[in-house]
Amino acid sequence: MNLPSKAKSDPKPCLVEIEGISKSFPGVHAVRAANYGLREGEIHALVGENGAGKSTLIKILTGVHRRDRGEIRLRGRPVSFRTPLEAQQAGIATIYQEFTLVPFLSVAANIFLGHEFTERGLLNHRRERREAAALLDRLGGNFDPAVTVSELTVAQQQIVEIARAIARHSNILVMDEPTAALAPREVFNLFDLLRELAGQGMGIIFISHRLDEVLAMAQRITVMRDGVTIATRPTADYTRLELIEQMVGRSIEQEYFKDKVPIGKTCLEVMNLGGGMVRDVSFSVRCGEILGLAGLMGAGRTEAARLIFGADPRKSGAILLNGHQLDISSPHDAIERGICLLPEDRKAQGLILSASIKDNFALPNLKSWSRLGWIYQRREKERFSDRVNGLNIRLASQDQRAEELSGGNQQKLLIARWLEANTEVIIFDEPTRGIDVGAKYEMYLLIGRLAAQGKAIIVISSELPELLGICDRILVMRRGRIAGEIIDVGSATPEAIMTLAV
């Protein structure tokens, strides 16, 4: 990735100045005396661990939350938006971590919602679709603007969100984890576009847990820790490890974790799997083995996982566990037999946002689990605290509603729940999406520990260095089929995977 040209001698005029912002929620001091500035034509990253206060800070800027203290100036003028709409009208477009699309409207309607093209009082659908198609094309979204949003994958929905923000001609763009659901090719397209927008004077607030992106894209980086903005510096002043250390507040030696685990007999065998876009997929995973599944968005990785898990109907093929053919026609069957899937769209497919954290954890939806018996409240509590500590989930209390957790902590909560299941095969679909560096490392440790227990593990990830860092073997999918296999992971490169994937 090319570094964008650095600003010349004179800094550009300020678009946004945030000074001494504080915000408390019951039991949490989410943001304390935070400072941040955004200049014209600048991409300014905001980084920090899960729960550091990044989303809260931008939600204050964009009128979602009220601040307790502090000042915000837009082009030098003090402002205080009471609603997201007011912020939008002042030229701030925001892509939140949680999607805000209307699921039952078309892609085009979502993009131009509130900014429809009208002609003599009538909606001009044709123009809307045409412009939407042009935008999607620019973003590398190869889907029809006429389909309804509910039919799209997470990654496609994210592209629609971005298209919508761009369609509004805003001069400030706030992106909270814009690339979390995108594959390398889409990220690449997005970055080209962001640079182009910045070149035209747009200021971009960029929140991401993918530090390679932050380092490649941003001219400046502000680090937040425990609600405080602890430093703002030009990107060139940071090395990757320095940045990580500043985020976590301690020194770090390595990013990935891979233990030497003896690899046992074949555990899961998938033969000629087909269904949806997936064609003739065959592979096996052995006990203690971590198998990576790489590929571009839409390559069929998630689809294959869902077929194995019984979440989508299988058209052909067989699934064997320890040599015995399984009859899986629903996730319930899969869980019974010891196969579990941690889905990519964790919120839609798992968390009950309005329920307490504790209840989300203990939700007795797994047979094997209730067999363990949740009779002993005390044990449940202990396990819960263990998991919370083990995954470093930040919460004010167990009785807090799940929706009050930061995005990354919600994901960790779901992971914690699934880890309670007694399974032989665990499929992780983008397990580290949206979680911070520290938590990622914890996740790698955890995956490693599960492998050491003899479980067969499949990891789907769009972060190629991650797959290379933690897997024993990598399969690359392309257009619903297996396009290649990387056996010698130690000496493989991201480029080698990409070559197989495109």
Binding positions for ligand ATP, rule: CB under 6 A? 25, 28, 30, 48, 50-56, 97, 394, 404-409, 436
**Closest distance to ligand ATP from the beta carbon of 70 (Å):** 15
SS3 state of residue 211: helix
14-25 and 69-74 as β-strands: parallel, antiparallel, unpaired? antiparallel
**Closest distance to Mg ion from the beta carbon of 177 (Å):** 7
Distance CA 60, CA 34 (A): 11
**Which residue, 271 or 355, is less far from ligand ATP as judged by CB?**
355
**Which residue, 31 or 335, is less far from ligand ATP as judged by CB?**
31
**Closest distance to Mg ion from the beta carbon of 234 (Å):** 24
**Which residue, 55 or 88, is less far from Mg ion as judged by CB?**
55
- Asked if 227 touches Mg ion (CB under 5 A), the answer is no
Give the nearest residue (CB) to ligand ATP: 408
Q: What is the dihedral of CA 259, 263, 264, 267, to 10 degrees?
A: 90
Stretch that binds Mg ion, among 95-103, 115-123, 347-355, 380-388 (CB under 5 A): 95-103
**Which residue, 30 or 427, is less far from ligand ATP as judged by CB?**
30
**Which residue, 350 or 407, is less far from Mg ion as judged by CB?**
407
Strand partners, 77: 74
**Closest distance to ligand ATP from the beta carbon of 42 (Å):** 21
- Asked if 55 touches Mg ion (CB under 5 A), the answer is yes
> Residue 309 CA to chain centroid, in angstroms?
21
The one of ligand ATP, Mg ion, none whose footprint includes residue 404, by CB under 5 to 8 A per kind, is ligand ATP
Stretch that binds Mg ion, among 14-22, 55-63, 218-226, 381-389 (CB under 5 A): 55-63
The one of Mg ion, ligand ATP, none whose footprint includes residue 306, by CB under 5 to 8 A per kind, is none
- DSSP characters over 413-463: HHHHHHHTS--SEEEEESTTTT--HHHHHHHHHHHHHHHHTT-EEEEE-S-
Q: Which helix (H) or strand (E) holds 70?
A: strand 69-74
**Of 343, 341, 344, 347, nearest in space to 407 by CA:** 347
The one of Mg ion, ligand ATP, none whose footprint includes residue 41, by CB under 5 to 8 A per kind, is none
**Closest distance to Mg ion from the beta carbon of 53 (Å):** 8
For the chain, first and last CA: distance in Å? 18
- Asked if 407 touches Mg ion (CB under 5 A), the answer is yes
**Which residue, 210 or 301, is less far from ligand ATP as judged by CB?**
210
Strand partners, 268: 285, 321
**Closest distance to Mg ion from the beta carbon of 408 (Å):** 7
Distance CA 18, CA 46 (A): 13
The one of ligand ATP, Mg ion, none whose footprint includes residue 62, by CB under 5 to 8 A per kind, is none
One-letter amino acid at 21 equals I
**Which residue, 97 or 423, is less far from ligand ATP as judged by CB?**
97
- DSSP characters over 106-161: BHHHHHTTTS--EETTEE-HHHHHHHHHHHHHHHT--S-TTSBGGGS-HHHHHHHH
**Which residue, 55 or 110, is less far from ligand ATP as judged by CB?**
55
Instruction: Output Rg (C-alpha) for the chain, integer angstroms.
Output: 23
**Closest distance to ligand ATP from the beta carbon of 97 (Å):** 6
- Interacting residue ranges for Mg ion, rule: CB under 5 A: 55, 97, 407
